[in-house]
Chain A
């Protein structure tokens, strides 16, 4: 992990994740954000380099500003509505994805595979699961209908060749299989972890490392991944979290609810 980096003790893995993820957002975008790191990262972006970012929450809010220290327990409580422009029924906010108003969907994941398919339903065989996970929520809708950013911890058990169950479709079996299976729009765009930032090969749609976090080697990323990663011809080293970014995060989450 990041323990070898000189400044590693200064931030947690979750804080690193939130900062790296926030930097991928662009000003003016409409972002559909899930609870946890995505919510925090979108809020950080909104308070730093993307003041015109519009956050959508599944509970039905358009353009809220989360109050520091009052993080919601899901995207469906009143804390998600603070200073928003509008509240909609859940079905209608999700339909904005289908209609095409959303630039990027942003969520966490329990398990991901080399083509960016996500599993949040079953560990093991779905008929006899070792663990029944909470399920899709809006994950399947978001990943079926728009470009996706996923933020998750980089662990071998989470990065597997094939997920046990496709809850939220990425590039399915690679190449053009996603479109052929009836999903012509969207797809997995970036995977952000505490080790690296990854994208997907334009042709094969296999996961590809684009940038390493400071102090992280290629070998380390590969060792923590359950399949063979591609590496971009120009793998960059990401700038570590800056003090101003960490300050915003800590103001938002003083009790380390999402960033422990």
Chain B
């Protein structure tokens, strides 16, 4: 098992949690300030899945801050994984599936980095990724499970996966090691200044990830009052004391989607797929220059995507509310 994601001894997990400031306090800051909470070499869990609720704005800020050697984990990794590799921010992504999306073919950028051994794509089954975060959220060192048995996916992760005979039934089960990210990046539709977060639509693995992580950076479409949160506490999915930073980042998943608000920017994603397929080295560099390093600010990045594209994504996104 790689040292960076080894199961944390329980005493350490508890001590690190006790040391965090868990009081009810305001923690609103800028993307640039939040990026400083991530250290080189950290294990960073990324919320959302494929092209949905990807915390793009925070990833954008980390790439601009030139973070290095991050070990990244995510349920399913899309175009953001290409950019984490191509920018040099990460050389190791732990995930169940890695490519922009089936309709665009296999990612040439992922292929370039993994086939040339410039970076590592550590593959676990999707349920196993989820159960690893869940074990982390539960404060237990592992979770027994019944997939990844017998297959080469299980074999390839080597000693990271153990099997045991169930002491109750005598059956063989696999043991999945807990994942407790140093930092989780999660984008939500709304939260208050303390970090009480409400999610609409698909939750993916975000709640377990927030509970498992040692720090959570929330980006949000909008910051609402604590009174508004208290009107619908049943909608709150992430409690404030797990959260270390709240950043208001409207359209913060673009060009990916945020449930009920905007769908993926398909035209932009087609262009991205085209330039990266043409040249898996220069393509993503050109993209990073134009959309990541070049813009002055997050609104400036959105302006580059274009008002037409933003409005089109929003029109489609809101269509889930139609009867």
Chain A residues within 8 Å of B, Cβ to Cβ: 35-36, 58-61, 73-74, 76-82, 87-91, 94-95, 97-98, 121, 126, 129-141, 144-145, 165-169, 172, 178, 181-183, 257-258
A81/B151 contact (C-beta < 8 A), A73-B264, A131-B115, A141-B126 known: no
Question: How long is the Cα–Cα vector from A81 to B96 in the complex, in angstroms?
Answer: 21
Partner of A121 from B103, B131, B150, B153 at Cβ < 8 Å: B153
Residues of B within 8 A of A77 (CB): 50-52, 257, 263-264
The yes or no answer to B276 lying at the interface (CB within 8 A) is no
Residues of A within 8 A of B49 (CB): 59, 76, 90
A136/B76 contact (C-beta < 8 A), A89-B205, A91-B130 known: no
Q: Are B130 and A89 in contact (CB under 8 A)?
A: yes
- The distance from the CB of B166 to the nearest CB of chain A, in whole angstroms, is 11
Chain B residue with the shortest CB-CB distance to A110? B106
Q: List 22 A-B contacts (CB under 8 A).
A: A59-B50, A60-B202, A60-B204, A61-B202, A76-B204, A81-B259, A89-B206, A89-B207, A132-B106, A133-B106, A134-B106, A135-B121, A136-B124, A137-B76, A137-B126, A138-B96, A138-B126, A141-B128, A144-B147, A167-B153, A168-B151, A182-B163
Q: What bracket does the count of chain B residues touching chain A fall in?
A: 35 or more
Nearest 3 pairs of A and B residues by beta carbon: A91-B130, A181-B150, A137-B97
Residues of B within 8 A of A79 (CB): 263
Chain B residue with the shortest CB-CB distance to A71? B103
Chain A residue with the shortest CB-CB distance to B257? A77
Chain A residue with the shortest CB-CB distance to B48? A76
Q: Are A91 and B127 in contact (CB under 8 A)?
A: yes
Question: How long is the Cα–Cα vector from A238 to B266 in the complex, in angstroms?
Answer: 38
Interface residues of B in 86-127 (CB under 8 A from A): 95-99, 101-103, 106-107, 110-111, 114-115, 121, 123-127
Question: How long is the Cα–Cα vector from A81 to B317 in the complex, in angstroms?
Answer: 12
Residues of A within 8 A of B110 (CB): 132, 134
Chain B residues within 8 Å of A, Cβ to Cβ: 49-52, 75-76, 95-99, 101-103, 106-107, 110-111, 114-115, 121, 123-128, 130-131, 133-134, 145-153, 156, 163, 172, 201-208, 257, 259-260, 263-264, 266, 317, 320
- The distance from the CB of B209 to the nearest CB of chain A, in whole angstroms, is 10
Q: Are A87 and B151 in contact (CB under 8 A)?
A: no
Q: Are A136 and B202 in contact (CB under 8 A)?
A: no
Dominant secondary structure of chain B at its interface with chain A: mixed
Residues of A within 8 A of B98 (CB): 134-135
Question: How long is the Cα–Cα vector from A74 to B102 in the complex, in angstroms?
Answer: 7
Q: Which residue, B145, B153, B208, has most C-beta atoms of chain A within 10 A?
A: B153
9 further interface pairs, Cβ-Cβ under 8 Å (given A134-B98, A135-B95): A77-B51, A82-B320, A98-B147, A131-B115, A132-B110, A135-B121, A144-B150, A167-B152, A181-B149
A135/B96 contact (C-beta < 8 A), A59-B52, A144-B147, A172-B150 known: yes
Q: Are A78 and B96 in contact (CB under 8 A)?
A: no
Chain A residue with the shortest CB-CB distance to B130? A91
Chain B residue with the shortest CB-CB distance to A61? B202
Q: Are A90 and B130 in contact (CB under 8 A)?
A: yes
Q: Are B320 and A78 in contact (CB under 8 A)?
A: yes
Question: How long is the Cα–Cα vector from A166 to B147 in the complex, in angstroms?
Answer: 13
Chain B residue with the shortest CB-CB distance to A184? B171
Q: Are A91 and B134 in contact (CB under 8 A)?
A: yes
Partner of B202 from A35, A81, A94, A172 at Cβ < 8 Å: A81
Question: How long is the Cα–Cα vector from A134 to B78 in the complex, in angstroms?
Answer: 10
Q: Are A166 and B75 in contact (CB under 8 A)?
A: no
Q: Are A126 and B257 in contact (CB under 8 A)?
A: no
Residues of B within 8 A of A90 (CB): 49, 75, 126, 130, 202-205
Q: Are B115 and A129 in contact (CB under 8 A)?
A: yes
Residues of A within 8 A of B203 (CB): 60, 87-90
Q: Are A183 and B150 in contact (CB under 8 A)?
A: yes
Chain A residue with the shortest CB-CB distance to B143? A91
Q: Are B99 and A87 in contact (CB under 8 A)?
A: no
Q: Are B76 and A182 in contact (CB under 8 A)?
A: no
Chain A residue with the shortest CB-CB distance to B101? A73
Partner of A136 from B102, B106, B153, B264 at Cβ < 8 Å: B153
Partner of B115 from A132, A137, A178 at Cβ < 8 Å: A132
Question: How long is the Cα–Cα vector from A256 to B17 in the complex, in angstroms?
Answer: 51
A132/B114 contact (C-beta < 8 A), A94-B127, A141-B125 known: yes
